Amino acid sequence: MEPTHPIELAGVKIRAQKGMVPRAEQVADDEITRIAGLPVTTRVRTAFDLGRHLDRAEALTRLDALMWNQVYSIAEVVGLAYAHPRAHGVKQLRELLPLVDGGASSPRESRIRLLLIDSGFPRPETQIVVPTGSYAIFLDMGWREYQVAVEYDGDHHRKDRRQYVKDIARLRMLEALGWIVIRVIAEDKPQDVIARVEAALVSRGCLIEINEMQRFTRTFAA
């Protein structure tokens, strides 16, 4: 649990206090488990709530993170959604569940993947394994068929000299194996990321057709 995030309490009558977000929810007995003696929602119920109460991008990052750390059944979350068809945010939850991917190892990776999907690209595969002969390289996401990868470089890639040297050697190996690697940093504009990814995929023969909603995303993504 991150110390900057408030604790969410679900129940019928809960008084609001500093550091807590009370929610009036009906929680069934089988949707509750115990950790260190404290009653908490199960993984499935937690996923059900995360996908409904947060904004779309943040919801997906949390659903991905939960799947990365504590694997849960998407089918069971879908079942819970159908059991509570009038619950707040259930429409968004149903739309997000097919996009959940436990291979995203950071919130930024989840957001980049969502941007790419919303922009009309084929859904990228996560944690792609690239054998080199003596060791394997793991890619954040990409398209194995076209040998195009998208990698998010956090601050440690820039500040840590040892990491930087490893990154350069890794990139050279991937290029030698025929991969195009799109490196994304926090300061990159979404439109620039979209343009770079599209150029790489098109150069490898990928046909990309977009609809009006995807064109809107490409124009106004922030």
- Cα–Cα distance between 78 and 105 in angstroms, integer? 23
Split at pLDDT 50, 70, 90, the class of 21 is low
- Cα–Cα distance between 139 and 32 in angstroms, integer? 36
**Assigned CATH topology for domain 107-220:** Endonuclease; Chain A (3.40.960)
Domain boundaries, the chain: 7-99, 107-220
214 close to 119: Cβ distance less than 8 angstroms: yes
The predicted-structure confidence for 56-93, as pLDDT tens digits, reads as follows 999 999 999 999 999 999 999 999 999 999 999 999 99
Q: Return the pLDDT at 222.
A: 75
The predicted-structure confidence for 132-185, as pLDDT tens digits, reads as follows 988 999 999 999 999 999 999 976 656 777 888 888 999 999 999 999 999 999
Whole-angstrom CA distances from 43 to 2, 120, 148 are 17, 31, 34
The pair of structure tokens assigned to 141 is: 């996401």
The pLDDT of residue 49 is above 90: yes
| Rounded average pLDDT over 6-14 | 53
| Rounded average pLDDT over 13-22 | 59
119 close to 100: Cβ distance less than 8 angstroms: no
Q: Return the pLDDT at 167.
A: 87
The pLDDT of residue 10 is above 80: no
The pLDDT of residue 16 is above 60: no
The predicted-structure confidence for 171-212, as pLDDT tens digits, reads as follows 999 999 999 999 999 999 999 999 999 999 999 999 999 999
